[in-house]
């Protein structure tokens, strides 16, 4: 009943403001589809956000390394699915890799502690390093990385870290949800949200 009431309010408010809107700029197809549903098909347009090419670039050609660097950049909360990435790495213990986790923005401290416990239980603590990097520092860490994973469990609206990571010389793997598949656009690098087995298979191939 609460959801129905909420939808009715949105519907009637939308009717009032609809004719006052000239143009809506959307930065992904997923966002445009939502506005199309609300009746803005002829008033909405897709203009991707892009990224800062002066910050995100490859300094030198990457050489083949003995140890692969797998990274996560973004907010720390359950909907970002970082635990899915950790679970997948349990199946890659025979390979030489290390994991970098960006812990600059911890939104759920309880979840962060659970991640640390999961890392310990998975016996990958020695291979895992938590880093803190703001927007100005993140490119340097991306250049040290080889594979970036976006294991999101919710409808990501854009995922600019994908473009930034590729610009710094990474292969980016992501869950098939929201606008992530729009940007990655390669089924071999996409997996069902929460499916850590499928993610481990992709990482093994890489």
60 pLDDT tier (thresholds 50, 70, 90): confident
Query: Would you place residue 64 in the very low, low, confident or very high pLDDT band (cuts 50, 70, 90)?
Result: confident
DSSP string, 120-150: HHTT-GGGEEEE---TTTHHHHHHH-SEEEE
pLDDT tens, 107-151?
A: 999 999 999 999 999 999 999 999 998 887 899 999 999 999 999
Phi, psi dihedrals of residue 77, rounded to the nearest 5°: -160, 165
pLDDT in tens, 7-34: 899 889 998 898 899 999 998 998 999 8
pLDDT band at 168 (very low <50, low <70, confident <90, very high): very high
């Amino acid at each position: 009943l609460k959801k129905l009431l909420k939808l009715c309010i949105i519907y009637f408010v939308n009717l009032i403001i609809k004719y006052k809107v000239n143009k809506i700029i959307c930065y992904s197809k997923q966002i445009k589809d939502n506005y199309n549903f609300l009746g803005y098909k002829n008033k909405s347009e897709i203009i991707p956000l892009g990224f800062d090419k002066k910050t995100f670039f490859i300094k030198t050609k990457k050489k083949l390394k003995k140890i692969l660097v797998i990274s996560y950049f973004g907010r720390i909360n359950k909907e970002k699915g970082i635990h899915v990435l950790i679970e997948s790495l349990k199946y890659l213990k025979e390979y030489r890799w290390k994991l970098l986790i960006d812990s600059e923005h911890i939104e759920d401290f309880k979840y962060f502690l659970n991640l640390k416990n999961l890392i310990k239980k998975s016996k990958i603590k020695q291979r895992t390093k938590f880093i803190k990097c703001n927007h100005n520092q993140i490119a340097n860490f991306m250049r040290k990385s080889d594979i970036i994973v976006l294991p999101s469990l919710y409808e990501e609206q854009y995922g600019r870290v994908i473009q930034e990571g590729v610009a710094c010389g990474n292969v980016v793997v992501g869950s098939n949800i929201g606008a992530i598949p729009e940007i990655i656009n390669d089924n071999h690098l996409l997996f069902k949200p929460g499916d850590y087995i499928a993610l481990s298979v992709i990482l093994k191939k890489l």
